[in-house]
Structure 1
Amino acid sequence: MSKKRYFIQLAYDGSLYHGWQIQPNAITVQELLDKAMSVFFRQPIETLGCGRTDAGVHATDFYAHFDVEGIAETKVLNAISGINAMLPYQIAAKRIIPVHDEAHARFDATARAYKYYLHFQKDPFKVNRSWLLKDKPDMELMNQAAALLLNYTDFSCFSKSNTQTFTNNCKITKAVFEADEDGLVFTIQADRFLRNMVRAIMGTLVQIGKKEINLDAFKAIIESKNRSKAGQSVPACGLYLVKIDYPYIR
């Protein structure tokens, strides 16, 4: 029986982990998933994720691909409960999907969406889940600035420097704030994202909402392509990867 490729769909609370990708001296989601799957399938399993989430960032919809050899497809597809039994409660496997042999969790994704949560009153149930911001920003102003993002493609000003990307171009198709219980939620969707991009965008939009900078200054920051001109990155706790689109997965 030959090697077969699958996608695994996950959700995880990133509070305790140093991001998705395996690190030499820190516990990550990928490390724990690979260990659990290797034990279950009784062979070395190495996953490749749809992207990198930083330390403390969460995911409600995350995909990784992996190859398994010599195991019937029905057994692989029914492995979710067994894999979950070996994972900590902060990480949940949701489903396994058979895909073609060249399917790639990172490169085949056609769109990604994140949400960022803000709240304005101390809440013990939102610790590590949302960012507590003491002064409520102006949502209307932030939405005016967020709408401007759709007019640009080069987001160098919101990217970590010295990353191994060939281009800093992204196509943002949605960027909007909405009221959410006692806070706000920002939703942003694009074909791809740069390292730290959403958190840097949020930090700059909050400056708009606090009226520290205006819309012209926001446009000038984007056009500068200079990270030092943009706002600080907001805390990881409020950020969630919520949707990944593939042409062959429903």
Structure 2
Amino acid sequence: MQKYKLSIEFDGTDFSGWQIQPTDRTVEGVLEQVFSKVLQQDIDLIGQGRTDAGVHARGQIAHMDLPEGTDIERVLQGVNGLVGDEVQVIEYEEVHESFHARFDAISREYEYTITTRPIPLMRHHSWALRQTVDLKLLEDCAALLNGEFDFAGFSKFNEDNYTTLCKIQRSLFDTDGDVIRYRIRANRFLRNMVRRLVGTMVRVAQGKMSIEDFKRVLQEPDAEIPTFTAPARGLVLEKVFYKK
């Protein structure tokens, strides 16, 4: 068998996330079904991690094993033709048999897009704010996140977590007219973590929460301070990084 690393782009608007579910339509489920149809055999696609319903990806990574001698380019041409415009496999690479899309990843990077007014052409890929925000406060909050912290207070409980510590390598906002983009890179992310960070930072920037309370949630995850979760539609998994 030959193992392939796939880079996948998808619009998550009408999907219930990446991971296969018994009844809901997911990206992984649709891709496995189409690959199996093209290859006339069952295919197991292993992703680097899950994404929530409504979240998008520019660089989701997955791996799969195919029989030696498979014409991978022909297979991908068939898959991309059948799977529809919401999902496309944009790159492939032959990798060592020991490669694992999830366990070999060393960091991930997400981008969240906010608009300061409703922009119709971006409505499925951004969070339109109805109130003004203090950009300086957004930047101050983002700067606080660089380093290693316990993000239990900014995530959804998951009993499978062996730790809630995450090391943030990059955290910053960039503004271009009516569009504000937040970029964050870390060694790992918890469920809802990016969306909850963005939502809570926006609350601070709108004067609905103090930056001191934001710091406290970061330093004391058990503090009974409510956080806010931003809509899924503004979030994009940009890139997954691996050792060279």
TM-score class, shorter-chain normalisation, is over 0.9
In 1: Cα distance, 2:117 partner to 2:97 partner: 49
Question: Relative to 1, partners in 2 of residues 1:107 and 1:54: Cα closer, same or farther, differing over 3 Å?
Answer: same
Question: Relative to 1, partners in 2 of residues 1:227 and 1:44: Cα closer, same or farther, differing over 3 Å?
Answer: farther
1:1-250 alignment, distance < 5 Å? 3-69=1-67, 71-72=68-69, 75-226=71-222, 229-248=225-244
My pick for the range that moved more, 19-28 or 152-161, is: 152-161
Encode CA deviations 1:170-210: one digit per residue, 9 max, x unaligned.
11011111113412010001011001100010111011111
Q: Which residue type is aligned with residue 6 of structure 2?
A: I
Encode CA deviations 1:212-233: one digit per residue, 9 max, x unaligned.
2232221111122138524221
**Is the contact made by 2:49 and 2:102 (CA closer than 8 Å) also made in structure 1?**
yes
**Is the contact made by 1:158 and 1:230 (CA closer than 8 Å) also made in structure 2?**
no
In 2: Cα distance, 1:123 partner to 1:103 partner: 42
Query: What SS does the corresponding residue of 1:56 show, helix, strand or coil?
Result: coil
Encode CA deviations 1:104-161: one digit per residue, 9 max, x unaligned.
1111111110000111222221121111111121111111111111144211111211
The size of the alignment, in residue pairs, is: 244
In 1: Cα distance, 2:239 partner to 2:101 partner: 13
In 1: Cα distance, 2:224 partner to 2:85 partner: 39
Q: Which residue type is aligned with residue 34 of structure 2?
A: A
Question: Relative to 1, partners in 2 of residues 1:105 and 1:232: Cα closer, same or farther, differing over 3 Å?
Answer: same
Q: Which residue type is aligned with residue 72 of structure 1?
A: G
In 2: Cα distance, 1:63 partner to 1:76 partner: 16
In 1: Cα distance, 2:198 partner to 2:224 partner: 15
**Is the contact made by 1:178 and 1:184 (CA closer than 8 Å) also made in structure 2?**
yes
**Greater fraction strand:** 2
In 2: Cα distance, 1:244 partner to 1:152 partner: 19
In 2: Cα distance, 1:36 partner to 1:227 partner: 46
Q: Which residue type is aligned with residue 16 of structure 1?
A: D
**Is the contact made by 1:174 and 1:190 (CA closer than 8 Å) also made in structure 2?**
yes
In 1: Cα distance, 2:46 partner to 2:225 partner: 34
- Structure 2 length-normalised TM: 0.95
Encode CA deviations 1:22-70: one digit per residue, 9 max, x unaligned.
011110000111011112222211111111100000001111011112x
Query: What SS does the corresponding residue of 2:212 show, helix, strand or coil?
Result: helix
Query: What SS does the corresponding residue of 1:147 show, helix, strand or coil?
Result: helix
**Is the contact made by 2:138 and 2:202 (CA closer than 8 Å) also made in structure 1?**
yes
**Is the contact made by 1:160 and 1:227 (CA closer than 8 Å) also made in structure 2?**
no
Gapped regions of structure 1 (runs ≥ 5):
none
In 2: Cα distance, 1:227 partner to 1:6 partner: 45
